[in-house]
């Protein structure tokens, strides 16, 4: 044997002895591996009942208990209208067709739409109006904007407040839901000619405005948006 073979053998024996001293030997008296499941059961803990199988289907799971009790019919539209009124019956009919409909949420959105439409009309923003109005109402608004443009007039409108947005009508026509809201607001509005002279309204007088608008939506459509289909004014 050459000198290199002897050196390698010596190193192998040395490494084996070191590992033996560090890792020890199995004597048969070692403690068994800790059984987490057995320990949990011994302490009274139950095993998980939700057995998950690939690709993630949960089986043997108890149904969830309802967290919200059904609203009694007499309280269904509390704060909006009284039971048995035409408004309540209209809301009932709409909900029967569209269970996701929430009139309170609708009123909140209608307030925002009201302000947006009024300001878009004043600014002649046809793009914004087209998304919010039915084709018939859009044509009416567009004609008024064209008349202003023809006369080289501009309208300045500013909201002071929207004091009330009250639901006053609800109706289901075939599959189309229609909701009518009375808006009571305060705003400042003035129309100026090319020279800047006011030809209508006032630049500093606050006017009390009451508008009655009707919005509609196809309850079978996947589009959740409502559009303005009718306008009126109590002023």
In a domain, 177, yes or no: yes
User: 167: phi > 0 → left, psi -120 to 50 → alpha, else beta; which?
Assistant: beta
Residue 218 token pair: 């196809």
pLDDT: is 203 or 62 the higher one? Answer: 203
User: What pLDDT band is residue 75 in, cutting at 50, 70 and 90?
Assistant: confident
Q: Which domain holds residue 91?
A: 83-234
In a domain, 77, yes or no: no
In a domain, 7, yes or no: no
In a domain, 8, yes or no: no
In a domain, 187, yes or no: yes
pLDDT higher than 50, residue 109: yes
In a domain, 94, yes or no: yes
In a domain, 186, yes or no: yes
- Quick: pLDDT tens for 76-86: 899 899 999 99
Residue 95 token pair: 């909900």
Radius of gyration for the chain, computed over Cα atoms and rounded to the nearest angstrom: 37
Domain count, the chain: 1
- pTM, two decimals, is 0.67
- Quick: pLDDT tens for 23-69: 444 444 444 443 333 333 333 333 333 322 223 333 233 344 444 45
In a domain, 93, yes or no: yes
Residue 205, domain CATH: 3.10.450.240
């Amino acid at each position: 044997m050459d000198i290199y073979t002897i050196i390698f053998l010596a190193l192998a024996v040395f490494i084996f002895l070191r590992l033996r001293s560090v890792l020890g030997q199995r004597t048969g008296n070692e403690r068994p591996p800790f059984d987490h499941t057995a320990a949990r059961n011994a302490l009274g803990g139950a095993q998980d009942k939700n057995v998950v199988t690939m690709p993630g289907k949960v089986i043997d799971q108890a149904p969830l208990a309802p967290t919200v009790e059904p609203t009694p019919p007499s309280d269904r539209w509390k704060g909006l209208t009284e039971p048995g009124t035409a408004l309540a019956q209209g809301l009932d009919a709409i909900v029967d067709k569209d269970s996701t409909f929430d009139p309170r949420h609708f009123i909140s959105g209608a307030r925002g739409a009201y302000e947006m439409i009024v300001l878009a009309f004043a600014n002649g923003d046809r793009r914004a109006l087209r998304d919010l109005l039915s084709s018939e109402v859009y044509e009416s608004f567009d004609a008024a904007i064209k008349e202003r443009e023809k006369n080289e007039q501009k309208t300045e409108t500013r909201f002071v407040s929207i004091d009330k947005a009250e639901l006053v009508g609800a109706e289901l026509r075939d599959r189309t839901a229609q909701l009518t809201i009375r808006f009571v607001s305060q705003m400042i509005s003035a129309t100026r000619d090319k020279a800047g002279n006011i030809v209508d309204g006032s630049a500093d007088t606050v006017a009390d405005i009451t508008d009655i608008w009707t919005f509609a939506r196809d309850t079978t459509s996947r589009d959740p948006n409502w559009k303005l289909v009718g306008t009126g004014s109590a002023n």
